[in-house]
Amino acid sequence: MTNAPAPSISRIAGAFARARSQGRKALVLYLTGCDPDFDTSRRLLLAAARAGADILELGVPWSDPSADGPAIQAAMRRALATGGGMRAALDLCRAVRVANPDVAVVLFGYANPIFVRGTAKFAGQAKQAGADGVLCVDWPADEDPELAQALGQQGLDLVPLIAPTSTPDRVKAAVAVAGGFLYCVSLTGITGSQLPNLDETSARVRQVRELSDGRLPVAVGFGIATPADACAVAGFADGVVVGSAAVRVIERAVNEGRDPVPTLEEFVAALRAALGPRIEKP
């Protein structure tokens, strides 16, 4: 039993509300956990939050990332080589939470590391680690409600990926068990691809809003690489997700033997500046 009052609003909902109140869109930043190693990754995640990321997607390294492009595949390889995985990702989440009680964290990964733990045990561990939500690429929530239920029991959000090809019925089914926000994929393809024609993406976001009765904010990701891309997508989405481009910033610094933290921080600040009028100074 805990005496602390339950927060009236989740960190994820709070992040979108705060962005809205500041007249801007939310920045969701994906980094692969433990890339290139546990401690650097911890510093990178905290730096990203400091530079203005509202929500951190902490990528859980997996051996077979079939939805990811070359940049995140390489990040996962670097992470796995230094002991990354689900266990380390949970530890990393806890370390970030200890240092930053406010930033929203979504664990982003694949089904097998969750499945082998058991959904209830995993949800408990994620909660204890201070996560706010989970996104699982290859767990169709409408076909198997087990994960959504286990997360729900811990008060964690299940964030769905909504593909451009998802039918209205499937979008509705995904929304029915979703929490936090809806992650609209900009393109048919893998992470880190070229950003497509945004007219279609914009129309898709409108459609997803209608299908979900505006119940949750809609973020758009896949292919958003530059502040200009982020600015364009912010024209119609509630949040903008940047992943592969941030991972490439880290990769370049690591390959050149530099500490990746300052350059990532600079990159995130530029993305954040592109999203709206005011930047909060602490």
Partner 1 sequence: MPALEELTAAWEHFSREPTFRAELDRLLREYVGRPTPLTEAARLADHVAQGCRLRVFLKREDLCHTGSHKLNNCVGQILLAQRLGKKRIIAETGAGQHGVATATVCALFGLPCEIYMGAVDVERQSLNVFRMHLLGAKVHSVKDGTATLKDAMNEAMRDWVTNVGTTHYVLGTVAGPHPYPTMVGELQSVIGQEARAQIQAATGRLPDACLACVGGGSNAMGLFRGFLDDPEVRLFGVEAAGEGVDTNHHAATLGKGRPGVLHGARSYVLCDDDGQIAEAHSISAGLDYPGVGPEHSYLRDSGRAQYMAATDQEALDACRLLARCEGIIPALESAHAVAGLPRVAEQLPDGASVIINISGRGDKDMGTIAKHFGAEVSS
Pick from 205, 201, 206, 154: nearest CA to 179: 154
The whole-angstrom separation of Cα 10 and Cα 108 is: 18
Of the residues 57, 132, 157, 238, which is catalytic?
A: 57
The whole-angstrom separation of Cα 138 and Cα 128 is: 24
Look up 256 and say whether it is catalytic: no
Contact status: 207 vs partner 1 (CB under 8 A): no
* CB 47 within 8 Å of CB 263: no
Candidates 9-17, 184-192, 234-242, 266-274 — which segment interacts with partner 1 by CB under 8 A? 184-192
Pick from 28, 115, 112: nearest CA to 66: 112
Q: What is the CB neighbour count within 10 angstroms for residue 98?
A: 10
Indicate the SS3 state at residue 60: coil
Residue span 43-62 as binding mask against partner 1, x where in contact by CB under 8 A, dash where not: -------------------x
* CB 223 within 8 Å of CB 196: yes
Q: CB-wise, 3 or 165, nearer to partner 1? A: 165
Among 14, 189, 196, 276, indicate the residue that binds partner 1 (CB under 8 A): 189
Look up 57 and say whether it is catalytic: yes
Contact status: 37 vs partner 1 (CB under 8 A): no
Contact status: 196 vs partner 1 (CB under 8 A): no
Least distance (Å) from partner 1 to the CB of residue 199?
18
DSSP one-letter code for 137: T
Site for partner 1 in 101-140 (CB under 8 A): 110-117, 138-140
Contact status: 72 vs partner 1 (CB under 8 A): no
Residues that bind partner 1 (CB under 8 A): 62-67, 69, 73, 77, 80, 85-87, 110-117, 138-140, 163, 165-167, 170, 188-190, 193
